[in-house]
Structure 1
């Protein structure tokens, strides 16, 4: 395939040249190949993905009506941004191409029109695509589809959203056998794994790997305190707000990333408190209303904001070229994630992106330093692929039934062509079909669980036509906590807060949300009604999953701890912290699992330096305290962060080795998960995803309490009468992989036999202070601890740093 002259001229007018990787993507399309493009941010990846489509519409025989190209992104904001940027070359070249978006924010009348008369190019998300495929018109709509472009593929391919998209790709490939798949990313650690995920039938060799031209090296610096020390603990990095404000004043546009919605609101308010120049500063996160998000996105695109405080809602691919500085508040948690965020600055290949890292505490300083080095060396990290979820497969089967009757053997072949589900055999397949048809053996007597039936010819179809509407109301993969809409009395929506947070509020209470102080008037019909307030209030907390510290970054931090010659690069207080630790005890290097035991305030503490992330450390704390209790060691509690776990009790731990033996996963782990709410919570999520429990009925949505009651009731029945039920199996998979990170925990316990180093001390050590200052605050929202509260840690830090 060659590039038409009108497109070449368009590049020339803009002073651009066609990049090598863009031409190679055009070549792959001409050869009828699937392709994965891995290129730096600003390399024109999205344009490279669309270039074959633009070339076909600019050719002598342009495609006619009908859906030609489908673009899938992980974020609604990214789809809308791509629409804006894609329309520029289309309009300037003069191509007759209709481009539209489709997401949860799209009006229902437009969705209906798109099914009847689809645009040439449709921009959507995995969830909206799955719903679109559930309509009978899908077979006609997708029959002529030539190309699907998956942007930022690393962001969701390894999770349940990737499972759903892989199944949708398999469905579209069956409807349009000539379909070609394209995936784009700047931060793929193992391209071959992603090529296998992208390819039909998992054949990685069937996907051409295109590596982009290298761009300018990013400029990454770490912000050091001007007149104070790096804090011992806390994650908010509130100490840096005055310096950050100075950076905003010095730059044209600054994008400030935080790791949680709470922190976005918190930092935004701190910034406004010192905004003497009245600079236009905005906020953006996933819980704000669509109108609020669109408004701030438009303002950024027009260059009207000096700074925007945001979360992962703007991580991926948003092209605002005038951003000259990206700030990461708190630890980055991974080099790929950091690189992705850095790329939002100077979104051009030949222009270096500038980024500033702001650590919240001393361990986060080391993590920021490790991430800075990884970015400089081009190192990538990411999550591992795992088998596709059975709950997602059940949802997909129901979507297929909504589109029309299916034959089970043909659909199984289609499902197994998706890489995450190549492991599904006929036995598992029949279990899935039986579940969708009846709910499973223990629930088959209840008509409400009968969703599909098999006719005499063996074809599966909906048990009743109304099942299609029920499926479309409830389908989805992202299971957030139940939310309350925050509205003014006139109906204007500001966004959403979690129902559990809203339940703590009474009329007259004040909250700080969407950058405003609001007084609660009352709660009605899943809405929190508010009015403007003059007094500041509490910031809503959200129970979202914590970003895990990647294994790659954890190993780099370990390396920094024992690289004594390299400590000279650190601020004085961080260097002193490590030097006193080295003198008093020892440092946990890459080959060590260090455990320190010491008395403090009448109790006995043991701190385990695992570097395995919060989930694994939290799980280990539960298991160790259970084992200590069984052995009469009188444990009193534990607290964990990404780097370490502190356990305390009335009796000293003379030898931690028996507490860390790998058999703890065979015995205590199973008992703990069964007795705790972990499996129950995991079951709640898979029950909703699989469609067994519905959150929404026409005109009414269940409250979180109602959903919990329903799922708990079913869970208790299945645990008692059918413990091998499909959803119990799916819940166990989630509890092991996501909630407890049992893979990293198992690796840690396996290493403990050969790597454990136990040091007994007479007092607390410097390295232990960051986790010990969390005691008593672990129930607070992540990031809620203002650094000023850490004054309570003075006695700990004084004891730790005393060398006499």
Structure 2
């Protein structure tokens, strides 16, 4: 029984769910754990009322900080603050709740230090800033709870490593600390709980026995393209979307990239000017002010539609929308479920989502996602391990505040999942890096950040301490520029590389309006509203993400449905695609689920090898490089490579020795990692990755607020360190980490290995069609676009497509 929850729920006229009652009971028993429940069912209250009950059952109520609530988003922090304060006000409790993020002003931070609230809602970076403050042990000495919200979002990132390290220190200060995570469903929930609670802790996994009902419909175009190509962005189907917007009180339109969001917002307004004022745009590069306005307008129910990106994926608590439209491939099963859950965001309500494919082959993904949701093919989140850059930063953070002793710190970090395999020698190498700059930078005074006095490691330089506090965190991105109107209003941020391509007078789309660049000053792009309809559309480097491995499984399963069922029993999407599949069968072959289709075609452009593993663009890029290397080892040749989510193309001027390559094991896993190293420019990829690692580790100072260092300087400085370490310290931990991260996260080497391993058990279906096939044409279009980037390549492509259809 939880008297606070019972009273509050009774006053609201609600009945608690079983998972909420189970969570309250587990917290009352002093347990730690992980809570998993669908979006919109009250996960926050399931943990919050448990925290309140423990506090008011204490014989002597503590005056210090009692609960630390960590969230990945500042916007989410504000929503949690509102929800929890509402409980305190409704029940007239003296339990005070504070908020600390990067936006909290310095006066409020000082008040929180002198008179801590009972609960503090914050972000991983702000927790580390507190650990870098003098006297943090006293500040956290009475802490009983740490709650980590949206843990599934953090566990597969270096921000999750920040949380692991913070928890390791807080457990040392407060041995009786209780830790709770709140997570959406992912494929490795048990592992996620173990990472959060630590290897030695036993926790309870509370899972809601509630299945969210999702009603999904794929929007089908009026006409089927038998030879589709990516690039339309779905805007040709705007007339099918408008009736959906008009038929519902509120609609979220999710796009995969910020540039696609800008285009859709502009096109919707052009097609339906009467929506002006009732439609908005929301993505991560817009200013906090603009995003807050959109969220508030959604909450008050005054917007008909919002075009958005993953910036509205997480549990930001606005009024539930009536329906969701997913524009383009959702790329992942969990992401699709999360977005669908933004509609019907109340217990018992059905989530309504429309899937809008942007080209014909994407229609197949409608059937695939339905199969994946029904069978629970949820992706795992791959946790980071051995992130030495974050460990080095953490060492300096502790040294900036009260210092640390090496033996104690090593014992602490060894208990985390990320650093469980770190040896004492490796730990000591990190110590050497923060005290002497490692083995190669010892002659440079600026890298002697930490000094050891009587066995305690501390930072004594005020300059080092200040610069370090400005650099705390593990979020890395391309250098950003502020976009400001000539009158001074801040509109948001845009990547420096995009603005550097423009001249004053050029126009571009941003925040849903056409802007003219007036001038660039420091890190500001000064703009004014422009007339007309044409302008460049920004593309952000962060918008490129591949389909997940489970989504690939679901896509390949559609071929089983095509081969096992008769057309009337097909899912609607596959029935609609029947003419395309018939054309593919006529010219080439439609593969089975356990077959790999390979097409070898000769055109006036050269010799084309098309391979269709259906593993996602990033895996295909790596696979293509390996296959090209293996082919060129048989006969010297140069290849151009193109790929999409379904397959890849190798194009060569000369005939390709395909039969001999297949006899030698073209798709074999034997010596695969050697061939990856030889066939892909891993060094250049590692050099780029090292820039982020160097920034997190503090080797490269990224600048002061309002005056960040330019991208080219960051790249030059980190590149210099990379070369020095390669030449004089090849075993350097940060250098090794750069290569490991390229293999694990950029090349997805383990997933690439699984793909080759799977293919080695499949039958290779080799076809030699006379012309490009419906499967091959979209991949060909990718390389065609690059060859004719300065011409009207779309017209050329349409002409070629017309010839194929004829």
Q: For each residue in 1:511-538, what CA deviation from the matched residue of structure 2 results, as whole angstroms up to 9, or x when unmatched? A: 1101111111111111111111112421
Q: Distance in 2 between matches of 1:106 and 1:275?
A: 40
The offset of 1:700, in angstroms, is 3.0
Q: Report what 2:253 is aligned to.
A: 256
Consecutive unaligned residues of structure 2, counting only runs of 5 or more, are none
Cα gap change, 1:673 to 1:428, in 2 (>3 Å): farther
Q: Distance in 2 between matches of 1:785 and 1:196?
A: 54
**Pair 1:795-2:773 in alignment:** no
Tell me the secondary structure at the aligned position of residue 500 of structure 1: helix
Alignment coverage as a number of residue pairs: 793
Q: Distance in 2 between matches of 1:231 and 1:494?
A: 40
The offset of 1:105, in angstroms, is 2.4
Q: For each residue in 1:547-581, what CA deviation from the matched residue of structure 2 results, as whole angstroms up to 9, or x when unmatched? A: 23111111111110232226532455512212332
For 1:130, which of 128, 131, 146 is the aligned residue?
128
Q: For each residue in 1:633-689, what CA deviation from the matched residue of structure 2 results, as whole angstroms up to 9, or x when unmatched? A: 533411111221111111233234355444564444324555652111011111111
Q: Report what 2:676 is aligned to.
A: 669
Cα gap change, 1:307 to 1:318, in 2 (>3 Å): same
Cα gap change, 1:574 to 1:136, in 2 (>3 Å): same
Tell me the secondary structure at the aligned position of residue 74 of structure 1: coil
Cα gap change, 1:274 to 1:780, in 2 (>3 Å): farther
The offset of 1:60, in angstroms, is 8.6
Q: Report what 1:692 is aligned to.
A: 699
Q: Is the 1:233–1:790 Cα contact (8 Å) retained in structure 2? A: no
Q: Is the 1:189–1:380 Cα contact (8 Å) retained in structure 2? A: yes
Q: Is the 2:414–2:422 Cα contact (8 Å) retained in structure 1? A: yes
Q: Is the 2:594–2:763 Cα contact (8 Å) retained in structure 1? A: no
The offset of 1:28, in angstroms, is 0.9
The offset of 1:797, in angstroms, is 6.9
Q: Distance in 1 between matches of 2:236 and 2:482?
A: 33
**Pair 1:213-2:209 in alignment:** yes
Q: Provide the aligned C-alpha RMSD in A.
A: 2.6
Q: Report what 1:114 is aligned to.
A: 112
Q: Is the 1:595–1:606 Cα contact (8 Å) retained in structure 2? A: yes
Q: Report what 1:491 is aligned to.
A: 488
Q: Distance in 2 between matches of 1:388 and 1:257?
A: 35
Q: Distance in 2 between matches of 1:118 and 1:578?
A: 65
Q: Distance in 1 between matches of 2:780 and 2:710?
A: 37
Q: Report what 1:99 is aligned to.
A: 97
Q: Report what 2:15 is aligned to.
A: 17
Q: Report what 1:620 is aligned to.
A: 623
Q: For each residue in 1:223-262, what CA deviation from the matched residue of structure 2 results, as whole angstroms up to 9, or x when unmatched? A: 1124565881225211222211211111011111111111
**Pair 1:234-2:230 in alignment:** yes
For 2:779, which of 748, 771, 789 is the aligned residue?
771
Tell me the secondary structure at the aligned position of residue 775 of structure 2: helix
Q: Is the 1:19–1:213 Cα contact (8 Å) retained in structure 2? A: no
Q: Distance in 2 between matches of 1:230 and 1:463?
A: 69
For 2:149, which of 148, 151, 171 is the aligned residue?
151
Q: Distance in 2 between matches of 1:144 and 1:124?
A: 17
Q: Distance in 1 between matches of 2:412 and 2:177?
A: 14
Q: Report what 1:639 is aligned to.
A: 642
Tell me the secondary structure at the aligned position of residue 635 of structure 1: coil
Q: Report what 1:535 is aligned to.
A: 532
Structure 1 residues 50-129: aligned runs within 5 Å:
50-56=48-54, 63-129=61-127
Q: Is the 1:436–1:450 Cα contact (8 Å) retained in structure 2? A: yes
Q: Distance in 2 between matches of 1:425 and 1:216?
A: 45
Q: Report what 2:722 is aligned to.
A: 715
Q: Distance in 2 between matches of 1:216 and 1:621?
A: 40
Tell me the secondary structure at the aligned position of residue 487 of structure 2: coil
Q: Distance in 1 between matches of 2:205 and 2:446?
A: 48
Q: Is the 2:226–2:579 Cα contact (8 Å) retained in structure 1? A: no
Q: Is the 2:299–2:318 Cα contact (8 Å) retained in structure 1? A: yes
Cα gap change, 1:33 to 1:504, in 2 (>3 Å): same
* 670-679 or 425-434: bigger deviation: 670-679
Q: Distance in 2 between matches of 1:673 and 1:171?
A: 41
Q: Is the 1:254–1:307 Cα contact (8 Å) retained in structure 2? A: yes
Tell me the secondary structure at the aligned position of residue 229 of structure 2: coil
Q: Report what 1:3 is aligned to.
A: 2
Q: For each residue in 1:98-141, what CA deviation from the matched residue of structure 2 results, as whole angstroms up to 9, or x when unmatched? A: 22322222223323332333222222222222222221232122
Q: For each residue in 1:395-454, what CA deviation from the matched residue of structure 2 results, as whole angstroms up to 9, or x when unmatched? A: 122212122211111101111111221111212211221122222211111111111122
Tell me the secondary structure at the aligned position of residue 289 of structure 2: helix
TM-score by length of 1: 0.93
Structure 1 residues 414-453: aligned runs within 5 Å:
414-453=412-451
* 316-325 or 258-267: bigger deviation: 316-325
Q: Distance in 2 between matches of 1:242 and 1:684?
A: 45
Cα gap change, 1:228 to 1:604, in 2 (>3 Å): closer
Cα gap change, 1:453 to 1:707, in 2 (>3 Å): same
Cα gap change, 1:544 to 1:128, in 2 (>3 Å): same
Cα gap change, 1:461 to 1:60, in 2 (>3 Å): closer
TM-score by length of 2: 0.93
Q: Is the 2:250–2:305 Cα contact (8 Å) retained in structure 1? A: yes
Tell me the secondary structure at the aligned position of residue 503 of structure 2: coil
Cα gap change, 1:189 to 1:750, in 2 (>3 Å): closer
Q: Distance in 1 between matches of 2:720 and 2:358?
A: 43
Q: Is the 1:682–1:731 Cα contact (8 Å) retained in structure 2? A: yes
Q: Is the 2:68–2:145 Cα contact (8 Å) retained in structure 1? A: yes
Cα gap change, 1:211 to 1:675, in 2 (>3 Å): closer
Q: Distance in 2 between matches of 1:143 and 1:484?
A: 41
Tell me the secondary structure at the aligned position of residue 272 of structure 2: coil
**Pair 1:593-2:596 in alignment:** yes
Structure 1 residues 285-684: aligned runs within 5 Å:
285-455=283-453, 457-536=454-533, 537-544=535-542, 546-564=544-562, 565=565, 568-571=570-573, 573-629=576-632, 631-653=634-656, 654-655=658-659, 656-657=661-662, 658=664, 659-662=666-669, 665-671=672-678, 677-684=684-691
* 632-641 or 400-409: bigger deviation: 632-641
Tell me the secondary structure at the aligned position of residue 460 of structure 1: strand
For 1:276, which of 273, 277, 292 is the aligned residue?
273
Q: For each residue in 1:755-792, what CA deviation from the matched residue of structure 2 results, as whole angstroms up to 9, or x when unmatched? A: 361513132222112211222335999xx999x94882
Q: Distance in 2 between matches of 1:635 and 1:125?
A: 49
Consecutive unaligned residues of structure 1, counting only runs of 5 or more, are none
* 584-593 or 757-766: bigger deviation: 584-593
Cα gap change, 1:698 to 1:154, in 2 (>3 Å): closer
Tell me the secondary structure at the aligned position of residue 482 of structure 2: strand
Q: Distance in 1 between matches of 2:784 and 2:306?
A: 33
Q: Distance in 1 between matches of 2:85 and 2:211?
A: 25
Q: Distance in 2 between matches of 1:388 and 1:307?
A: 44
